[in-house]
Amino acid sequence: MSETASADPSADSVRREVRQWLEANWDPNEDLVAWRNLLADSGWGMPVWPRQWHGRDLPQALAPVVDEEFARLGAVGVAKTGIRLLAAATLLEHGSDAHKARFLRRILTGEDTWCQLFSEPGSGSDLAGATTRADRHGDHFLVNGQKVWTTSAHHADYGLLLARTDWDVPKHQGLTYFVLDMHQEGVDVRPLKQMNGHASFNQVFFTDAVVPAENLVSAVGNGWQVAITTLMHERRGADGLRGVQRERDLPGRIYEQEREEIAVALEPYKWYPQRAGRVDLVLERAQATGRNTDPATRQEIAKLLTMARSAEWTARRARAAQQQGRPQGPEGSLGKLASSNIARQASHVHTLIAGANAMLAGEDGDLNGLIAEILVSVPATSIAGGTDEIQRNIIAERVLGLPKEPRMDTGPFRDVKRN
Amino acid sequence: MHFAFTPEQEQFRDAVRRFLRDRSPPAEVRRLMDDERGHDPGVWRQMCQELGLGALHVPEGRGGQGFSVTELGIAFEEMGRALLCAPYLSSVLATTAIAEACGADEAEQIVSGIAVGEQLAALALTEANGRWDAGGVELIADGDRLSGSKTHVIDGHVAYLLIVAARALGSTGEEGISLYLVAADAPGITRRSLTTLDPTRKLARIDFANVEARCISSDAAPALRRTLDIACVAVACELVGVAEALLESAVDYAKLRMQFGRAVGSFQAIKHKCADLLLEVELAKSAARYAAEAATEGDPDLPALASLAKATASDAAMRAARECIQIHGGIGFTWDNDTHLWFKRAKSGEALFGTPAWHRERLMQCWEV
C-alpha cells in the first residue's frame, strides 16, 4: 500500500475507479449472492466502511459518487433492507473482530436477516426499563422474557437483544447487549395482529433461550450505550425502507432475485402510506363526492393543506440551513410531531368526505376499503418511532431548554415501580 | 424559491432588531399606546432615513428603496416581535397602492415623501360593511367629488395624505373602482380616532362630505388586490414575530416560576403546550416566509399563499397569546404584565384584512377546490 493512500481521494478519481471496476465485473445474469460477495471483497458495496471490513475508507461525502455510478449501470448493491444496516453499524462500532468476521459479510449478501429485540410489553417509551432477563450459566446466558413490535422476527436469523443482567443497579447500568440466534427451541415468534387487521410485527417469547458468551456485543452492564448507537442509526434513517424505493423492471436473473428480496422486505410496510393519512387523495375525493361544496368541509381541507404545505416548507428550511452549514434551528426537530398532526387531520377530513360510507370497510368501503384503512391506521402515527408525548418532551427539553421532570427510577432497578 | 436568508438579509434583520431593542422596549410601547398620535415622529423619521423602512419594497423608480417583499417580511417579523408603535403598516398600504396604481413619475413623487418619513399616508378602503376588497367599496365618486364614510383606517387620524377607494355612480362589484388622493385637511373631511382593542395600532373613521379629490387611478381593483396581498404577507410576518415573542416569554416564565417545589416548566402539562406552540409558530413562520418569497419572485399563486400565510400566522399568534397568559397564570391577566399588549396585537391582527376562516375559504377558491 502506498504512503499516500490515507489522503482523501478526489471525486473524479473515485468515479473513474468505481466505473472501471463495475464495467469489468457487473453482470445482470450473475447470482445475487455471488455478486454481493464480489462487492464485499472489493469494498464497493459499502465504500465508507473500513477497508478491513468490506469497505474502502471513503469519506461519507464521496458515497453519492459511487451510488451514481451504480445507478448509471443499474448495478445492484448490497442488501440494505430490514434492519441489516442497523445491525452492521452497531457491530462495526462495538463488536469484536470475531463478530465482524462472522456476521458482516452475510449481512451484505442478504443471506442473513436480522431483527431488533428492544421493545417490550412493559417498556415502550421507556426502553431502558426492559425486564427480559439474561442470566449467566458458565460460558453462556439463558434468556427469559418477552419482546414486542419486532419486525421480520418470523424470518430473522439473528436478533439484536437488549436484556437485563443486573437488577441491583440503576436501570441503565443493568442492561447487556447480545446477538441472539433466532433458530432455537427457546425462541417462540408469534405475529401481532394490529387494529387495522395487518400483522406487520411480532411478539417474541424467550424460554431459556441460549446465548453463548462470545455473542456479547457490550460488556456486561454496558448494553445501553450500545443500544444508543443502534437507535442513533435508526433515527438517521438507516433502517427499513431505505434503498428499496426503486422498482426494477429490468431483465436478468439478479434483478429477479432482488425483486423477490424487496417484496419480502416491503410486505410489512404496505399499509404505511395509509397511516400517514393519504393527503394526496383529499382533493380528488372531495370533488368526486361533491363534498367540496360544503363550507365546513372546505375549512377542514384548507387547514389540512395548510399544515401539509407548511410542514414541507419547514423541512426545506431545515435542509437549506444545513446546506449553508448553519446550526440547525428548531425547525429540524419538529417533523415527526407535524406528521402526526397532519395524519390526524387527514383522517378527520377523509371521514367528513366519506360521510355515511365512513362506516364501511373492505370491498364495500370507499376506494375498495382504502379509506377505511386510512381511518384505522392513522392512530399508529402518533405512537410508532417515539410517541407524540415523548417528541414533545424532547422538543421542550432540548430545543426550548425547559427543565426535566424529577425521576422516580434512579435507584436500584429492583425497587423501581414497573409493569 | 429560497428557503434560507442571505448573509445580507441576516445583517438587515440584526440591524432592525438592534434598533428596535433600543427604541421600542415595552416601556416605550406603553408610553406610545397612550399617546394620541400613537408613534414617535422622530423615531419614525430615523427608521425611514437610517433603515429605509418607509417604502422598503417599492422599486427605486417609484420612490422606494428597491428591496423585495422578502426584506419587508424580515422587518415586519422584527416589528411584531418588538410590538413597534409606528406608522409602518399604513405606509406599506399607501406606498404599495400608489406604486401599483400610478404611473412611475407620479408614484416616485408621492412615495418619496412618504419614504423619508416626512409625510404620513393612509389607505382608506374599508367601510361600515367591514370588507377588505374593492368589491366592498360604497363611497361614491361623483366626478372629482367624494361622498361617504371610511372606517378602520390604519393611522387615519394622523395621516396627511389619504388614498381613498371610491366607486363610480351606478357601478357594481370590482368595476368602477378608483383611487383618489386628498389631503386630510381638505374641506368636507371629518376624522375621528376610534377606540381600539389594540392600543398599539390606531384606527380612524373618516367622513367625506362632497370632498374635492384628485383621481390617481380609474381602474384600481387590480392594484388594490395586489396591495392587500402584500399587506397580508406583511401582517403574517408581523404576527409570526408577535407569536415568537409570546412563546419566548412563556418559556422564560415557565423556567423561572416555582410551584410544588419545582419549575412549572418541568411539568409535562406545560412542556407539551410549549412544544405544540413551537411547532405551530415554526409552521406559520415557514408559511409567511414562503409567501414573502412568492411575492418577491412574482409567483402567480401569491393570492392563495398570502391567504394561507395570513390564516396560519394569525392562528399561531392567537394560540401563543392564549397559552402565554395561561402559563403565566393570574399575573398574566394583569395590566402590569406585558403579555396583554402582544395578546391585543394578535387579536386585532386576527380580524385585520379578514379572519382566518375567511382566508381559508379564499385559499380554497384560489386553488379551485
Q: Determine the distance in angstroms separating the CA of B63 from the nearest CA of chain A, rounded to an integer.
A: 33
Which three three-digit cell numbers place residue A326? 448553519
Q: Which residues contact A240 (CB under 8 A, 6 or more apart)?
A: A81, A82, A83, A151, A269
Which chain A residue lies closest to B308 (C-alpha atoms)?
Answer: A306
In CATH, what number is assigned to the domain containing residue B315? 1.20.140.10
Q: Do A402 and B266 touch (CB under 8 A)?
A: yes
Is CATH 1.10.540.10 the right assignment for the domain spanning A112-235?
Answer: no
Q: A330: which chain B residues are within 8 Å (Cβ-Cβ)? A: 278, 282
pLDDT for the residue numbered A237: 59
A241 and chain B in contact, CB less than 8 A? no
Question: A223-235 vs A84-94: helix axis angle to the nearest 10?
Answer: 140
Please tell me the distance from the alpha carbon of residue A206 to that of residue A190, in angstroms, as a whole number: 12
Give pLDDT, residue A7. Answer: 56
Tell me A406's DSSP state. Answer: P
Buried b (16+ CB within 10 A) or exposed e, A137-171: eeeebbbbbbbbbbbbbbebbbbbbbbbbbeebeb
Kindly tell me if the per-residue pLDDT of A160 is higher than 50: yes
Alpha carbon separation from A116 to A93, A119, B130 (Å, rounded)? 17, 8, 61
Best of B1, B2, B3 to disrupt the A interface (most A CBs within 10 Å) is B3
Give the C-alpha separation, A179 to A91, whole Å. Answer: 10
Cell 408559511 sits at which residue?
B287
Does residue B243 carry a pLDDT above 70? Answer: yes
Is residue B93 in a domain?
Answer: no
Question: Which pLDDT score, from 0 to 100, does residue A328 have?
Answer: 67
Do B169 and B262 lie in a common domain?
no
First CA to last CA distance, chain B: 25
Taking only residues 329 to 358 of chain A, the set having a beta carbon closer than 8 angstroms to any beta carbon of chain B reads: 330-331, 334, 337-338, 341
Q: Does residue B241 share a domain with residue B212?
A: no
Asked whether residue B158 falls in the same domain as residue B34, the answer is: no
- Give the total number of structural domains in chain B: 3
| In a shared domain, residues B56 and B69 | yes
B260/B200 same-domain check = no
From A300's Cα to the closest Cα of chain B, the distance in A is 9
Question: Which residue has cell 417509551?
Answer: A125
- Taking an 8 Å cut-off on Cβ atoms, the answer to whether B286 and A401 are in contact is no
Q: Can you give the CATH number for the domain in which B13 is found?
A: 1.10.540.10
Residue A339's H or E segment, with its range, is helix A335-354
> B97 in a domain, yes or no?
no
Among residues B313, B248, B260, which one has the least CA distance to residue B284?
B313
> d(Cα A223, Cα B358) in Å, to the nearest integer?
56
The alpha-carbon gap from B156 to the nearest alpha carbon of chain A, in Å, equals 34
**Taking 80 as the threshold, does the pLDDT of residue B275 lie above it?**
yes
B100: in domain: no
Residue B366 touches chain A, beta carbons under 8 Å: no
Torsion of CA A99, A101, A104, A109, to 10 degrees: -140
Q: Percent of chain B having pLDDT more than 90? A: 100
Band of the pLDDT at A82, cuts 50, 70, 90? Answer: confident
This prediction's pTM: 0.91
Q: Does B286 touch chain A (CB under 8 A)?
A: yes
Q: Are A346 and A273 in contact (CB under 8 A)?
A: no
Give the structural domain span for B347: 222-366
DSSP B67-115: --HHHHHHHHHHHHHHT--STHHHHHHHHHHHHHHS-HHHHHHHHHHHH
Question: Same domain, yes or no, for B209 and B234?
Answer: no
Contact A295 B367 (CB under 8 A): no
Beta strand B161-168 with B121-124: parallel, antiparallel or unpaired?
A: parallel
d(CA B302, CA B291) in angstroms, rounded, equals 7
Over residues B349-356, the mean pLDDT reads: 98
Residues B212 and B230 in one domain: no
Q: Is residue B202 a part of any domain in this protein?
A: yes
> Is some CB atom of chain A closer than 8 A to the CB atom of B278?
yes
- Predicted pLDDT at A378: 98
Q: Tell me the pLDDT tens digit for each residue of A170-204.
A: 999 999 999 999 999 999 999 999 999 999 999 99
**CB contacts, 8 Å: A279 with chain B:** none
Q: Which of B263, B279, B363 sits opposite A302 (nearest CB)?
A: B363
What percentage of chain A reaches a pLDDT higher than 70? Answer: 94
Q: What tens digit of pLDDT does each residue of A99-149 get?
A: 999 999 999 999 999 999 999 999 988 999 999 999 999 999 999 999 999
The reply to whether B212 and B255 lie within a common domain is no
Query: A147 in helix, strand or coil?
Result: strand
Of A301, A313, A321, nearest to B369 by CB-CB distance is A301
Contacts of residue A401 in chain B, CB cutoff 8 Å? 251, 255
What pLDDT is recorded for position A240?
43
Largest separation between any pair of C-alpha atoms in chain A: 74
- Residue A331 CB neighbours (<10 A): 26
Let me know if residue B209 belongs to a domain. yes
Grid coordinates of B242: 408577535
Residue from the list B278, B289, B308 with its beta carbon closest to the beta carbon of A309: B308
* Position with higher pLDDT, B364 vs A82: B364
Residues B247 and B355 in one domain: yes
Is A398 at the interface with chain B, CB within 8 A? no
Task: Find the angle CA(A160)-CA(A162)-CA(A163) to the nearest 5 degrees.
Answer: 135
> What angle do helix axes B268-296 and A335-354 make, rounded to 10 degrees?
80
Q: Are B162 and B154 in contact (CB under 8 A)?
A: no
Quick one: B228 and B350 in the same domain? yes
Tell me, what amino acid is at A230?
Answer: T
Q: Which residue among B265, B286, B364 sits closest to A313, beta carbon to beta carbon? A: B286
Task: Give the domain-ending residue among B218, B238, B271.
Answer: B218
A317 Cβ under 8 Å from any chain B Cβ: yes
- pLDDT band at residue A269, thresholds of 50, 70 and 90? confident
CB-closest option in B278, B290, B311 to A313: B290
CATH of the domain at B130: 2.40.110.10
Mean pLDDT, chain B, whole residue set: 97
At residue A243, the pLDDT reads 46
Q: Please check the confidence at residue A246 and state whether its pLDDT lies above 70.
A: no
CB contact under 8 A, A310 and B312: yes
Give yes or no for residue A287 having a pLDDT over 80: yes
